């Protein structure tokens, strides 16, 4: 047998070795890429109410982690949405923030078109459907594990209000919040003048805020079973900054100069506000897990005042009057039991109870503005209240035992008592002068839902569901959803979704009345239908998404003119909306980045014609980078959020000769965070936010409408200012167990 030349033998061995090395290296690279992709997968629960990989979920989702919340100096759910989310954005009228979803914003809705869910408990109340997302949400940020933004109509599993989507908040377990934690946060903003100028940085003129909190995460044994408790008690206080307003001349219907109180000249609204921009939020949130049981509770109060009358009532109320304020109070309890019968059937039994009340006080010095006859200054108080208790039963059956064919069914029933009225009193004596719109109702509402998940192949994931809601306000509403996710290539997912949602008229919309507004007992539910498609690509730790959507909104409720000249809520509008979402995020070692963009075209059709949606951004997004510096150096993070030019809230009905628009806006936040050198358990976060624009899309003051035919120069709309500069420092001490 012939043998190879020694040189050829060496060459063959080297070639085989190189081929093996190349194959091994390529395989190792593939394994590392797959591992990176696996570790970067987000697991969500908000879309299907069960844990699943985000790319398989029957909705477009984005996840905001606790690490990013801390890294980028996030102080509220609204800031998390603006700086870190996709598809949603909030606008701040120096009141409770308003949320927009994919180019649709409905002014003065107080968040009742988005559903806020915390650990499975819905926080929207039944009096006005409110979901606060700023500090008024009263959810301490330190105990949040992650926030899921589930975009698009979402009534199929949650019922009403989920028209923009669902904000699903999941709190931490003791494993990630172990020990006792003490937090102190302090912030400052300069005094503001007109045009966004800073008029004073003197200590006595600064707007100030602080937050004091203590939290605990602990594992223990309770009656022989393991238990976990997470809780945080905190107090948030904000006062200022001060702003300059007006002056705006104003008269009564008879032409007499209007009285806006002692802090501004007769017949004039405006001046410097120093007493009417403040917030106080005491809050307690706690969660106890014991065996198969979980108990969660929230006790909170949201007290606030806004410097331009009160944010949604521009015609009444004295200027810079500290007694003009609002207060919301909640007590919520949720008890859950999750059980397993055999290896395939899991059950959920929930019992929940909530109480809520609302109060809005206005001091009115102009007697003609009091809703009942008054000889002088009156105190007008809008009151709302609600109580509700309910039970939900849910079963989930895994037909094959491998999570590829599962069926979920559930029923949810509740009894609610809702009431409200407007009391008018003499402001000096507090003697009751009259009550308007007093009404209390007790109602039973229930729903049944079903969801089918099926993966006939490992690359194909189907999800279909339907829900029937029976509500005296809404009638019978059926909300379907169908979704498909296809793993079309390595790391690539194609997804299509159809979904619907509704919002029943609120108690406030149906029954509120005063001297200028009629009740509207005949309102019907708003309905939205949406279709969307996305393409998502994962490469290691990097994720890219591009998607398009179209929604159609019907029976939209808005405040219009009644036949007798008064105003009244009506089902008299529809909205057509389409656009795109894009997102990219990932990292290289200690460097991380993120970017999201939403572009939309939205138009509202009313009896008066087709018009732009007031205050609704049609282009917005965010971008962020962060780097963990080596050694004892801090993490440096820069986050930006941006919104395009958008029309003000009176663009369609204000009659201004110069249509009011808010300019494009960019907010930048630079944050440094790390452990304090020499103190292992003490950490800090130092951040500064700067906003490029000086005006928001909200017309302030009594000049809300003008008559184009009136003689003389036409007034220009005064847009509410923006708090342009804030610096804050957060210190947290962690007492390790």
Q: Would you give the DSSP letter of residue 721?
A: E
What tens digit of pLDDT does each residue of 475-532 get? Answer: 899 999 999 999 999 999 999 999 999 999 999 999 888 777 888 988 999 999 999 9
In a domain, 10, yes or no: no
Residues of the chain with confidence (pLDDT) below 50: 1-36, 38, 310-311, 313
For 583, the domain range is: 34-735
Q: How far apart are CA 559 and CA 547, in angstroms?
A: 34
Output the six-digit token pair for 571: 């089902």
- The end-to-end CA distance of the chain, in Å, is 76
Give the pairing of strands 475-489 and 492-503. Answer: antiparallel
Question: CB–CB of 531/482 below 8 Å?
Answer: no
Per DSSP, which regions of 119-206 are E strands? 121-122, 144-151, 165-171, 179-189, 191-192, 198-200
pLDDT of residue 26: 42
Question: CB–CB of 82/74 below 8 Å?
Answer: no
Output the six-digit token pair for 350: 């929930």
Per DSSP, which regions of 472-615 are E strands? 475-489, 492-503, 526-539, 542-561, 567-588, 591-606, 609-612
In a domain, 19, yes or no: no
Total number of domains in the chain: 1
163: enclosing H helix or E strand: none
Beta-carbon contacts of residue 121 (< 8 Å; ≥ 6 apart):
296, 332, 334, 352
Comparing C-alpha atoms, which of 108, 78, 40, 74 is closest to residue 185?
74
Q: How far apart are CA 145 and CA 285, in angstroms?
A: 14
In a domain, 265, yes or no: yes
Per DSSP, which regions of 629-664 are E strands? 635-643, 646-647, 661-662
Q: How far apart are CA 435 and CA 440, in angstroms?
A: 14
pLDDT of residue 35: 43
H helices of 159-246, in order, are none
pLDDT of residue 177: 95
What tens digit of pLDDT does each residue of 588-636 get? Answer: 999 999 999 999 999 999 888 899 999 999 999 999 999 999 988 999 9
Comparing C-alpha atoms, which of 67, 45, 22 is closest to residue 118?
45
Q: Would you give the DSSP letter of residue 308?
A: S
Question: CB–CB of 289/173 below 8 Å?
Answer: yes
- pTM for this entry: 0.93
Question: CB–CB of 604/612 below 8 Å?
Answer: yes
pLDDT of residue 561: 79
Phi, psi angles (nearest 5°) of residue 110? 55, 40
In a domain, 15, yes or no: no
Q: Would you give the DSSP letter of residue 241?
A: -
Sign of CA dihedral 465, 468, 471, 473: positive
In a domain, 8, yes or no: no
Report CA-CA distances (Å) from 253 to 258, 265, 367, 568, 704.
9, 19, 12, 20, 15
Helices (H) and strands (E) in the chain — how many of each?
A: 5, 40
pLDDT of residue 283: 98
Domain with residue 648: its CATH number is 2.40.170.20
Beta-carbon contacts of residue 204 (< 8 Å; ≥ 6 apart):
none
In a domain, 3, yes or no: no
Q: How far apart are CA 516 and CA 591, in angstroms?
A: 57
Q: How far apart are CA 440 and CA 428, in angstroms?
A: 29
Question: CB–CB of 510/519 below 8 Å?
Answer: yes
In a domain, 18, yes or no: no
CA angle 403, 407, 411 (to 5 degrees): 140
Output the six-digit token pair for 450: 């079903």
In a domain, 662, yes or no: yes
Q: How far apart are CA 385 and CA 423, in angstroms?
A: 14
Q: How far apart are CA 114 and CA 130, in angstroms?
A: 9
């Amino acid at each position: 047998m012939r043998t190879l030349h020694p040189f050829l033998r060496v060459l063959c061995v080297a070639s085989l070795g190189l081929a093996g090395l190349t194959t091994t290296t390529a395989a190792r690279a593939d394994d590392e890429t797959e591992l990176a992709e696996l570790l970067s997968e987000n697991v969500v629960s908000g879309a299907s109410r069960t844990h699943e990989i985000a790319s398989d979920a029957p909705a477009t989702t984005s996840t905001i982690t606790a690490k990013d919340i801390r890294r980028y100096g996030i102080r509220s759910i609204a800031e998390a949405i603006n700086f870190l989310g996709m598809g949603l954005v909030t606008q701040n009228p120096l009141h409770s923030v308003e949320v927009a979803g994919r180019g649709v914003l409905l002014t003065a809705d107080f968040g009742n078109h988005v559903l806020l869910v915390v650990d499975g408990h819905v926080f929207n109340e039944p009096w006005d459907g409110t979901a606060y997302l700023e500090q008024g949400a009263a959810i301490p940020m330190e105990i949040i594990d992650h926030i899921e933004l589930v975009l698009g109509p979402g009534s199929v599993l949650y019922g009403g209000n989920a028209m923009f989507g669902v904000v699903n908040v999941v709190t931490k377990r003791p494993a990630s919040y172990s020990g006792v934690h003490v937090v102190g946060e302090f912030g400052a903003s300069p005094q503001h003048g007109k045009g966004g100028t800073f008029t004073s940085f003197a200590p006595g003129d600064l707007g100030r805020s602080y937050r004091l909190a203590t939290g605990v995460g602990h594992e223990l044994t309770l009656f022989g079973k393991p238990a976990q408790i997470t809780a945080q008690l905190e107090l948030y206080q904000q006062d200022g900054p001060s702003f300059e307003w007006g002056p705006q001349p104003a008269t009564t219907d008879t032409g007499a100069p209007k009285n806006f109180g002692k802090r501004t000249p007769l017949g004039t609204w405006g001046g410097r506000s120093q007493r009417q921009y403040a917030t106080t939020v005491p809050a307690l949130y706690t969660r106890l897990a014991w065996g198969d049981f979980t108990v969660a509770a929230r006790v909170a109060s949201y007290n606030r005042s806004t410097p331009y009358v009160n944010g949604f009532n521009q015609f009444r109320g004295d200027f810079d009057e500290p007694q003009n304020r609002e207060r919301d109070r909640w007590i919520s309890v949720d008890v859950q039991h999750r059980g397993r019968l055999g290896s395939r059937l899991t059950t959920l039994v929930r019992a929940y109870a909530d109480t809520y009340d609302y109060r809005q006080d206005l001091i009115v010095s102009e007697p003609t503005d009091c809703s009942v006859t008054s000889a002088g200054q009156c105190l007008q108080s809008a009151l709302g209240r609600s109580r509700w208790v309910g039970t939900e039963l849910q079963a989930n059956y895994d037909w094959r035992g491998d999570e590829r064919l599962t069926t979920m069914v559930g029923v949810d029933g509740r009894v609610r008592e809702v009431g409200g009225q407007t009391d008018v009193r003499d402001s000096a004596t507090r003697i009751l002068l009259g009550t308007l719109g007093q009404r209390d109702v007790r109602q039973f509402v229930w729903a049944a839902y079903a969801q089918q998940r099926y993966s006939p192949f490992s690359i194909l994931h189907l999800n279909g569901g339907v829900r029937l809601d029976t509500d005296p306000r809404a009638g019978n509403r059926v909300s379907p959803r169908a979704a498909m996710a296809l793993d079309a290539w390595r790391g690539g997912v194609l997804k299509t979704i159809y979904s619907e949602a509704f919002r029943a008229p609120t108690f406030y919309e149906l029954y509120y009345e005063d001297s200028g507004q009629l009740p509207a007992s005949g309102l019907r539910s708003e309905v939205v239908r949406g279709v969307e498609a996305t393409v998502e690509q994962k490469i290691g730790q990097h994720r890219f998404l591009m998607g398009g959507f179209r929604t159609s909104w019907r029976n939209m409720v808005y405040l219009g003119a009644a036949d007798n000249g008064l105003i009244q809520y009506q089902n008299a509008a529809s909205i057509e909306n389409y656009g795109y979402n894009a997102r990219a995020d990932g990292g290289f070692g200690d460097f991380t980045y993120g970017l999201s963009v939403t572009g939309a075209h939205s138009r509202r059709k009313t009896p008066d014609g087709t018009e732009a949606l007031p205050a609704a951004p049609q282009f917005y997004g965010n971008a962020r980078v962060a780097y963990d510096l080596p050694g004892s150096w801090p993490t440096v993070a820069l986050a930006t959020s941006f919104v395009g030019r958008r029309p003000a809230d009176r663009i369609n009905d204000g009659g201004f000769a110069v249509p009011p628009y808010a300019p494009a806006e960019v907010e930048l936040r630079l944050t440094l965070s790390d452990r304090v050198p020499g103190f292992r358990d003490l950490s800090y976060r130092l951040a500064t936010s700067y906003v490029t624009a000086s005006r928001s899309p909200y017309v302030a003051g009594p000049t809300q409408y003008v008559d184009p035919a009136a003689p003389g120069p036409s007034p220009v709309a005064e847009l509410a200012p923006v708090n342009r500069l804030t610096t804050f420092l957060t210190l947290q001490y962690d007492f390790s167990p």
